[in-house]
Amino acid sequence: MSTPIKSTNVRSLTAPLSSGTPSSGAPRPAGRPKRPPLGAIRSALRALTLVSPALTTQWAYRMFTSPRRHARPTREQHLLARAESLDFVCGGRVLRGWSWGQGPAVMLVHGWEGRGAQLGSFVDPLVAAGYRVVTFDGPAHGVSFGRRMTPLDLAHSMRALADWVGGVQAIVAHSMGSLATSLALQAGLLTDRVVFIAPGSHPGDATAQMAKLLDLPPSVLRGVRETLASSLGKTWHELAQADPFADHGVPLFIAHDVGDKDVPIATAEKMQRTWGDAQLYRTAGLGHRRILRDPEVVLRAVAFIGAPRTAPSESAWQSFLRLDHPLGL
């Protein structure tokens, strides 16, 4: 459940929008000390495993769910300087949000260690098309409060913001934001169109990459996976068998670079096959992040979203379940 923050309170909790950073007199979003070199982390984990595999699992899981914060580039600062503040509370944490334009809402969702303004290239074209564009920094990201985040936390944040703005007609998500979007759709978030830019992989692939990076033994990897699955309300067996990107009944546009080193394009190709109504646009030479600023990608995505409608559409069954239905359901 979200709780809006009045503009008079926003200034006392967070920084001016032009700075993109917490003011010196306000509570700062919880940051994290700089991580030691990878070799030192691996050595420490190996030593800890000999003493307590359970503690090693806890430490590895904390690393897996504890993002680093990155400096906001000038282009993002300029974008936020002309935005309307849209801060809200979700799960007891203050999340920084922003809004541009008027009309039905389109939500922009960042990925792991990202920021909402990273998708800023979509703002002006969508506003020109007649949309209100909304975005936010997820828990423990950007200038929002918190220390840790799972995909489910990001999905909860999306639903809270969608509730606050009265629904969203489309969602544009990057990287891990695509997994959060899928989880939000599974939980009942309504939207008409979805755009995934360099969508993230299945949690099994992500945890395997982490285990390889940190040189984790199989027993610790199993523990991390079970802990992650538990945070999503499942066992690892259930999570491994499930396809979070199965058809959600919403048209999908995917843009992915053939040379993406963070997430291979095979992930997007599989997603196109399993989603149902999906199309894939391949790029070359843009990688995992520059693709967000590519004019052709933005143009195709905005064209796919199409013209605004007066309200997000819903199926007959969803309409039947509305609280204002004549039967009083």
Distances in Å between the Cα of 153 and the Cα atoms of 92, 183, 232 are: 12, 10, 9
Distance CA 229, CA 237 (A): 9
For residue 278, list its beta bridge partners: 252
Query: What's the pLDDT score for residue 93?
Result: 81
For residues 329 and 322, what is the distance between their CA atoms, to the nearest angstrom?
7
What is the residue whose two structure tokens read 């391949």?
A: 282
Amino acid 264 reads: P
Instruction: Measure the CA–CA gap between 139 and 148, rounded to whole angstroms.
Output: 7
215-264 pLDDT tens trace: 889 999 999 999 988 987 889 988 887 787 888 899 999 999 999 999 99
DSSP symbol at 65 = T
With a CB cutoff of 8 Å and minimum separation 6, the contacts of 91 are 139, 153, 156, 157
Do residues 26 and 32 lie in contact, with contact meaning Cβ atoms separated by under 8 Å? Answer: no
Residues in the chain: 329
Measured distance CA(203)–CA(213) in Å, rounded? 15
Residues in CB range of 324: below 8 A, 6 or more apart: none
Pick from 4-13, 136-145, 212-221: least confident: 4-13
Structure tokens belonging to residue 71: 């400096």
Residue with tokens 């379940």: 321
Give the Cα separation of 177 and 200 in Å (integer).
7
SS3 226: helix
Cβ neighbours of residue 42 closer than 8 Å, sequence gap 6 or more: 214, 215
CA distances from 263 to 202, 270, 305 (A): 10, 12, 24
In angstroms, the CA 83 to CA 101 distance is 9
Distance CA 137, CA 20 (A): 11
CB–CB of 232/206 below 8 Å? no
Q: What average pLDDT is seen over the chain?
A: 83
C-beta of residue 80 within 8 angstroms of C-beta of residue 17: yes
pLDDT at residue 258, rounded to an integer: 97
Percent of the chain with pLDDT over 70: 83
Above 70 in pLDDT, residue 153? yes
Return d(Cα 126, Cα 85) in angstroms, integer. 18
Per-residue pLDDT of 192-216, as tens digits, reads 999 999 998 788 888 888 888 888 8
Q: What is the pLDDT, as a whole number, of residue 35?
A: 64
pTM given for the model: 0.81
**Which three-class secondary structure state does DSSP give residue 323?**
coil
Which candidate, 293, 277, 273, places its Cα nearest to that of 285?
293
Domains contained in the chain, CATH given: 2-21+72-202+243-313 (3.40.50.1820)
Separation of alpha carbons 118 and 165, rounded Å: 21
pLDDT of residue 24: 31
